[in-house]
Amino acid sequence: MIYLGFYDVVEVTVYKMVCKVMQDRHQQPYTMWIFTACTIAVLASTLGSVAANGSAEACTSFKLNIPGVSLNGTTHFPANALVALTTFQSSINTTDLPAFCRLQLVLTTNATARSTAQTEVWLPDTWNGRFLALGNGGLSGGVNVADLGNLGVKQGFAGISTDTGHESGSNDGTWGGPHNDNAIIDFGFRAMHMSVVSGKEVVQQYYRQGIKKSYYLGCSTGGRQGLKEVQEFPDDFDGVVVGSPANWMTHLQAWSMHVNLEVLPTTSPRFIPENLWTDVIAAEVLKQCDALDGLSDGIISDPRICSFRPETLTCRPNQNTSTCLTSPQIFALHHIYSDYFEANQTYVFGSYYPGGETGFFGGLTGSNPFPIPAQYFAFFVLNDTSFGTFDYNPEVLRVADEVDPGQFNAITPNISAFAGPSHKGKVIQYVGWADQLISPGNSIHYYETVHRFMTENTEMDIDDFYRLFTVGGMQHWYGGAGATSFGAANDVQPALSDDAQHNVLAAMVRWVEEGVAPDNFTAAHYNGGDASQGVQFTRPICKYPLSSRFVGGDPNSADSFECALLT
């Protein structure tokens, strides 16, 4: 058997380029070395399309040879073995994974500061030739073992994930300071990028074969990480899938506090108890807007066409206030459902959208402030550990924009280096209209800024490299009243199938490797939110700006819907 290592693949790539140039220029006859190089190039391409194999022996005997990277653990899991692992990011407890090798690495991210990141590479015994990096969530520092297993090795990918240089829960930012700049930079971009570079080399050393294509999948913080890679390290990936990205961190955290303060403190007349959200407001929103997509099913397909009027819930004299809204509560609702602007009509962030009310109290309108924003400003921006939600004011946002700690923001609209003719990278982005932690408007805002910039400055068509999909009834990450299982990041409920129509990662692979771009997906909603209980209904997920509209037939079947521009 012939093996091509990393440097062999690089050399073959160079030879292929030379062959192409000589063919184009009709320079014949070829010399013997050119002929041999072309032969090797063809062989390398053939090998790249054939699944490579690992084994228990290859795993346990693997020796790593990468400067600044050490091997901290090696474990081979046979097929259907119990894989029970927990990190600060996620957990996995399953017996349905194929055989794979788990490599635990320690990467030096800054030798002078002695900062490191823990990174894992999971290598299936039967490899599909592709590389997959997986993102994180919140402020957590932990390897995403759930996605490495459920979305990575289960589909044949060699996968990597990193703790981003620290260990913490998703709501804990104390690791950032005061003044722990190296950890903040690692979290911002460095640990992920270095893990990708090192992870690719590990994969090629392990299989002794080049990587066919490289992909990324992540949501929330993971979405921010993916867009950061697109903008700053365009050669890292061929295809990037991001969900509801936290990519405008300075403004996201300001908006989160803004929404908190619309209803807090709990003694404020503006405060809206949970039962009002779930039993009163949610029901009225559906009454006013549910049927606008052609079907009353508890799902608002496109809340942009819902002109919700909370005034219909105004309390009458002597009415029980647990069944209606007071004027201060209605005032707060109008602010919550509106984009956030500051002085001089400066746009800050999007809004909550009608249709996600059952999740809002557990998001940003609950009785306690959502913890991440205060942690972000206290430990990353201001280095003032006494800072809290009620200390927020527009000056804090101004300082955050000026500092942008760790270069967290990933809002650059120019992605020409990634998507242009020299690389031809692809982006699929998705967001749930019922997102309770990051306004769906943020996804639309970034997509449209890219659309505008690339149209003004290039001849490229955004549909050729970047597609956004909106999901009716979907909350942050996954879940909600809608059909939300389609292979999304961190969703433990599987897609109906791993084909490109039902699985967003498979759709990206087909787009990159076959040139077939997705126009829609078919997602599932399982009974009780559990795939083992069977499918309750399916729905199409449509490419923005289209949304699903019922056209007749079985309301539980995606075939009864079309993607249309709702008005």
Which residues are known to be catalytic?
A: 220, 435, 476
How far apart (Å, rounded) are the C-alpha atoms in residues 349 and 338? 9
Query: What is the DSSP secondary structure assignment for residue 97, as one 8-state letter?
Result: P
Cβ neighbours, 10 Å, residue 78: 11
Beta bridge partners of 314: 325
What does DSSP say about strands 535-543 and 520-526: parallel, antiparallel, or unpaired?
A: antiparallel
Dihedral (Cα; 474, 475, 481, 486), 10-degree rounding: 40
Measuring CA to CA, which residue among 276, 206, 217, 212 is closest to residue 243? Answer: 217
3-state secondary structure of 430: strand
Query: What is the DSSP secondary structure assignment for residue 314, as one 8-state letter?
Result: B
Residues 6+ apart with CB under 8 A from 139: 168, 169, 170, 171, 172, 173, 175, 176, 187, 221, 372, 375, 376
Give me the helices (H) in 406-521, please.
Answer: 416-419, 440-457, 504-514
> How would you label 345-359 residue by residue, b for 16+ Cβ within 10 Å and e otherwise?
eeebbbbbbbbbbbb
What does DSSP say about strands 535-543 and 466-471: parallel, antiparallel, or unpaired?
A: antiparallel
Query: What is the DSSP secondary structure assignment for residue 167, as one 8-state letter?
Result: -
Residues in the chain: 567
Residues 6+ apart with CB under 8 A from 209: 3, 4, 5, 9, 47, 48, 52, 129
3-state SS, one letter per residue, for 173-233: CHHHCCCCHHHHHHHHHHHHHHHHHHHHHHHHHHHCCCCCEEEEEEECHHHHHHHHHHHHC
Measuring CA to CA, which residue among 289, 279, 262, 286 is closest to residue 358? Answer: 279
